[in-house]
Structure 1
Amino acid sequence: MPETHEADQKPLSFDLTRQPWIGVLRPNGTQEELSLREVFAQAKDVRRITGDLPTQEFALLRLLLAIAHDALDGPRDIEHWARLWSDPHCFAPIAGYLEDHRGRFDLLDEQTPFFQTAGLRTEKNEVASLNRIVADVPNGEPFFSARLPAVGRLGFAEAARWVVHAHAYDTSGIKSAMAGDPRSKGGKVYPLGVGWAGNLGGVFAEGRNLRETLLLNLVAADAVDFGAKGRRDLPAWRREHGPQGAERPPDGLCDLYTWQSRRLRLHADADGVTGVVLGYGDPLTSRNMHTREPMTAWRRSLAQEKKHGEPLVYLPREHAPERSAWRGLASLVADREQNRPEGSDPPSQLRPGILDWTARLVTRRKLQRGFLIRARIIGTVYGTQQSVVDEVVDDHLTMDVILLHEQDRDYATQAIDAVKDAELAVNTLGDLATDLERAAGSENESPRLTARDRAFAELEGPYRAWLTDLGQAEDPFEQREAWKAQVHTIITRLGRQMVADAGDAAWQGRPIPAKQGSVWLNSALADRWFRARLRKNIGQPSSSDQPSGTDSAADPSPKVHA
């Protein structure tokens, strides 16, 4: 626990409502730290929150949203939200709220330390290194850290950020048992999973400044369903901890966004934080939380349905580091009806509730066509039974809100189909790489994978630019045709280069089995097949950029798919 200052014997204090500790980025590119009061007061003059890691930004945003929800008592519905959106001083009441609860926002308070448990200790009175909560120093593997050999001390501002992050993203694994924890076995508690946000493929809507970002993610009470009637939704600083290990559902967004997935206590002196006591806190299953947790997409799990004997199970859809956000557009903009033909099974995936909420705002004309949002995508990839952090995902996709309109789906449909155009073209280029390898007498799959990776990389920038402009187009179908022509040009150029680089063996070729007999496959024939497939998959562009040498030969080759 915090020690007192030897000179004056006053208890240590670090008031998060008045002391700067949240990193922010200004529109001019400068960075600084602000207190909680300053963050809300200056939100329109802040571009966004920054963190030591992107996951820290996500965790801190959820903290700010919980404060806003509780202080503003809402929004109760879409009309209440619209009044907040139009009021430049909508966050003014938060200053009084923070003053009223100021004692609960002191990081070092002896009785109610922020996001901590007073008097927390392990059964053996151990105090761990700060490596346990600083996520950029994997415990036991600090080989690439600038903090070698360990984190010996943290300033109070940085420690506060890592405390919030630990509840959201702490790793799993065996942890020391806290005194009195009924889950203790030999002084240890065996793996119970990562912090709540670590289960999510985090998604939030980002506006032009922090004020817009906070409001865009301030979901109305009637947009989520926690199924709990009569229980008041309170954030962590306004509720008492229940018994260790006791399971309960969250009461609302304030509760969920500040979920205490760990029991934690900092040890500090007057110069900073020196150690931490960290153990498991409140368990929370991610199964079928799709009506409650709005900041992730969801996927149906047939395996979990069978395991638990339930007719329908949705789990958070985690981010794949190797897959850029634009390739997963369908999971962000396609609503349930677009994924579900009439009379069919429930949808295999659900877009994030935060984008369902944005869709309501667009459809009810609270946000106008032409307004651009960035869908920020943040998540963690864990390794070795979730006991270490392997990778952090941070990506974004800028789109016109018209893509989310519930009654005007043509824009979203064309945007999704444009991704499919790109995938078909990339597969075609991969087929060319395979054919060139076969012509040279090799069955190596590496060139195919390399070709696909390069093609997706070449298409990413043009697609993002095309998507940003799509909402301004009068005819989304015409824009789709323009995109297909652009894809054709890019993929044809890459294919032409691959043929030129194929080498003498591929140029000479060799016989391969065909539907009738055999065919002499060389780079020239592989090129003709490639052009015919590309034309079949995405059509014949009408632009003057179409490369010469197009051949309409039929494709007799065995099909090779990604």
Structure 2
Amino acid sequence: MRWSPREQACVSALTMGGKPVELNLVEVLRQAEDVAAVYGRTPGETVAVTEWLLGLAYAAGFYPETANEWRTWVENRESLDDVADWLQDHDGCWDLFDPLAPLGQNPALHPHLNAFGVGPAQLVMEQAGDYNQFFSREHLHSPAILPAAEAWRAMLTQHAYAIGMKAKIKTKDMGLPAPFANLSSARLVSRLRVIARPAWEGATFGDLLRLNLTPSGDDNPGRLNLTWQQPAGPVRRDFTRRGAEQTRTPTGPADLHTMLGRSIALRPAALPDGTAGVDLVLIGPGETVSDLPAAFLQDAVTSEKGLLKPSLTRDLWRQSHALYAAVAERDKGTDLYGRIAMLHGRRIHLLAVGLLATQGKLVSWVADEYPYVPGRETELRHAAEQGSAICEHAAKGLYAAAATAQTYTYPQAKPADRPAQIARFNGSTELWGAASDLFHTLMDDVADGIPAVEALTAFATALRAVTANSLEARIASLPTAGNGLEAQSRARARLTEYLNQPNTPVHLKDPS
């Protein structure tokens, strides 16, 4: 059985007319100006497929040498036909089930598939549970066959985003080095990946690929990683040392975008209709990336704690001011943000995608996008910073009001009971839920040319109403007499006081 994404439908896309289509890799590149977008089942899968297509472009020698050439390519829509031609004619192995050089896989694992493999749910990160292999999870032994196209996309996602864990593989029985059990984090798992998405009228997926190509001079773009055992390729892990000790630096952008973050083996099986699928999977450690130079971190955003990454306690939009700071300051030279600033009159959206995980468990994908217009950098950054500060202050005001309501509702409360009692009256959850839409409206307004001061006033006015409503919803259950009535009155007064104290952001204060 064979299956090749170069020949079989493997990518979900939308035409410019909004019609969903399934295309193979050659068709995606050949029809890039007729395709509005490609998309995956999750934000991470969408990024992984886009990364791989960027890797193909570099491998084909399709990349600008300078920032000025990049700008010309974007504005004149340099054709991607050369990449499609290269892909169609390239003699590398593209067969997902090739016995000697399977696409994206490590054939050294194949002899162990039947004895140690599990169901294809292990390949799909969101289905793999706690990510410990052989943890007696019945769904990992499900006989359901995963279609080959889905398996290929899931494999790309593993290579890009797989999280670090100690897999429970019986290495003694497999005859493999003990360090094989250590699964290091893949390249993108520890930060936000930002992709520039063209948002001007008539923008296509071809425009997106050109926007995100990094000028690489006349340097060697590196080798496309088609399989673990391709001849004359870069030196890879030999599993004689732990992942953290055995790392490598990509040799160029083609190598970077197709790093093999996992050792994977897939067993082919036929679906009821005779098409190719996967029924057994074995996953081990992959290539561990060393600290990358700035040239390989063109989209990275730096915060006070290092590279910006998703937070378990802060929504992604609440960190967007760091992204806008990267655009406004442009102090890293010719990175992605410095280049898009050259595209005067072009609206661009910055799509940020990350993976939330804790203690070896995937929590969720996070994704959001933010408008950017060259020339509006300072206004956008100011709006993002002030918008976030306004929300933070309003949330603290709700907590102060909740604490006041608790004091008058439970005057004899034990200290240990106070947190739960305050939580009863704290409307911050409702506030943050509503604030997200208001914040995105704020940023769209500023991108559209409305002065930041004016847009922030409208934003804060709406948020102040949301804040008051959030408190009312929490204290509505209190009796309208005695302690309950006083608690309501005191909580409202405390919120009003908090939202008008000297350190309140000016736009949030009650103008009356």
**Structures share a fold, TM > 0.5?**
yes
How far apart are residue 459 of structure 1 and its match? Answer: 1.8
Where does residue 330 of structure 1 map in the other structure?
Answer: 321
Aligned to 1:335, the other structure's residue is in SS state: helix
2:159 pairs with 1:167: yes
Amino acid of the structure 2 residue aligned with 1:532: E
Where does residue 357 of structure 1 map in the other structure?
Answer: 336
Preserved CA contact (<8 Å) 2:196 2:348 = no
Where does residue 121 of structure 2 map in the other structure?
Answer: 131
Shift in CA distance, 506/256, structure 1 to aligned 2, threshold 3 Å: farther
TM-score by length of 2: 0.80
1:76 pairs, out of 65, 69, 83, with: 65
Shift in CA distance, 127/218, structure 1 to aligned 2, threshold 3 Å: same
2:146 pairs, out of 154, 157, 169, with: 154
Shift in CA distance, 432/330, structure 1 to aligned 2, threshold 3 Å: same
Distance in 2 between the 1:540 and 1:413 partners? 13
Aligned to 2:8, the other structure's residue is in SS state: coil
How far apart are residue 526 of structure 1 and its match? Answer: 3.4
Aligned to 2:427, the other structure's residue is in SS state: helix
2:383 pairs, out of 398, 407, 414, with: 414
Shift in CA distance, 124/177, structure 1 to aligned 2, threshold 3 Å: farther
Where does residue 240 of structure 1 map in the other structure?
Answer: 233
Preserved CA contact (<8 Å) 2:390 2:508 = no
2:405 pairs with 1:436: yes
Amino acid of the structure 1 residue aligned with 2:161: Y
2:229 pairs with 1:219: no
- Correspondence list, 1:254-333, <5 A: 254-269=254-269, 271-285=276-290, 287=291, 292-299=296-303, 314=306, 316-321=307-312, 323-333=314-324
Distance in 2 between the 1:528 and 1:119 partners? 69
Distance in 1 between the 2:387 and 2:113 partners? 59
Shift in CA distance, 278/62, structure 1 to aligned 2, threshold 3 Å: same
Shift in CA distance, 44/321, structure 1 to aligned 2, threshold 3 Å: farther
Where does residue 432 of structure 2 map in the other structure?
Answer: 456
* Gaps in structure 2 of 5+ consecutive residues: 240-245, 271-275
Distance in 1 between the 2:219 and 2:206 partners? 31
Where does residue 530 of structure 1 map in the other structure?
Answer: 495
1:427 pairs, out of 390, 396, 399, with: 396
Amino acid of the structure 1 residue aligned with 2:446: L
TM-score by length of 1: 0.74
Where does residue 194 of structure 1 map in the other structure?
Answer: 185
Shift in CA distance, 169/126, structure 1 to aligned 2, threshold 3 Å: farther
How far apart are residue 63 of structure 1 and its match? Answer: 0.4
2:102 pairs with 1:86: no
Shift in CA distance, 413/101, structure 1 to aligned 2, threshold 3 Å: same
More displaced stretch, 55-64 vs 329-338: 329-338
Distance in 1 between the 2:300 and 2:425 partners? 29
2:357 pairs, out of 359, 368, 382, with: 382
Aligned to 1:48, the other structure's residue is in SS state: strand
The share of aligned pairs that are identical, in percent, is 19
Where does residue 368 of structure 1 map in the other structure?
Answer: 345
Distance in 1 between the 2:429 and 2:33 partners? 39
Measured against aligned partners, the alpha-carbon deviations of 1:295-325 in whole angstroms (never above 9, x if no partner) come to 4434455xxxxxxxxxxxx4x4331255332
Shift in CA distance, 296/392, structure 1 to aligned 2, threshold 3 Å: farther
* Gaps in structure 1 of 5+ consecutive residues: 1-11, 223-228, 302-313, 341-349, 510-521, 551-562
How far apart are residue 210 of structure 1 and its match? Answer: 1.9
Distance in 2 between the 1:201 and 1:336 partners? 15
Amino acid of the structure 1 residue aligned with 2:365: V
Where does residue 372 of structure 2 map in the other structure?
Answer: 400
2:189 pairs with 1:203: no
Distance in 2 between the 1:460 and 1:323 partners? 12
Shift in CA distance, 496/399, structure 1 to aligned 2, threshold 3 Å: same
Distance in 2 between the 1:418 and 1:294 partners? 27
Amino acid of the structure 1 residue aligned with 2:288: P
Whose RCO is larger (CA < 8 A, sep 6+)? 2
- Correspondence list, 1:2-41, <5 A: 12-27=1-16, 29-41=18-30
Shift in CA distance, 542/266, structure 1 to aligned 2, threshold 3 Å: closer
Measured against aligned partners, the alpha-carbon deviations of 1:23-74 in whole angstroms (never above 9, x if no partner) come to 2234555433210011112223333222233221111111011112232432
Higher helix share: 2
How far apart are residue 380 of structure 1 and its match? Answer: 2.4
Amino acid of the structure 1 residue aligned with 2:121: N
Aligned to 1:390, the other structure's residue is in SS state: strand
Amino acid of the structure 1 residue aligned with 2:150: E
- Correspondence list, 1:487-498, <5 A: 487-498=463-474
Preserved CA contact (<8 Å) 1:59 1:168 = yes
Which of these two proteins has the greater Rg computed from alpha carbons? Answer: 1
How far apart are residue 334 of structure 1 and its match? Answer: 1.0
Preserved CA contact (<8 Å) 2:380 2:443 = no
Distance in 1 between the 2:57 and 2:376 partners? 25
Where does residue 47 of structure 1 map in the other structure?
Answer: 36
Where does residue 242 of structure 2 map in the other structure?
Answer: none
Distance in 1 between the 2:433 and 2:114 partners? 52
Measured against aligned partners, the alpha-carbon deviations of 1:132-167 in whole angstroms (never above 9, x if no partner) come to 312232258999x99786154222222222222222
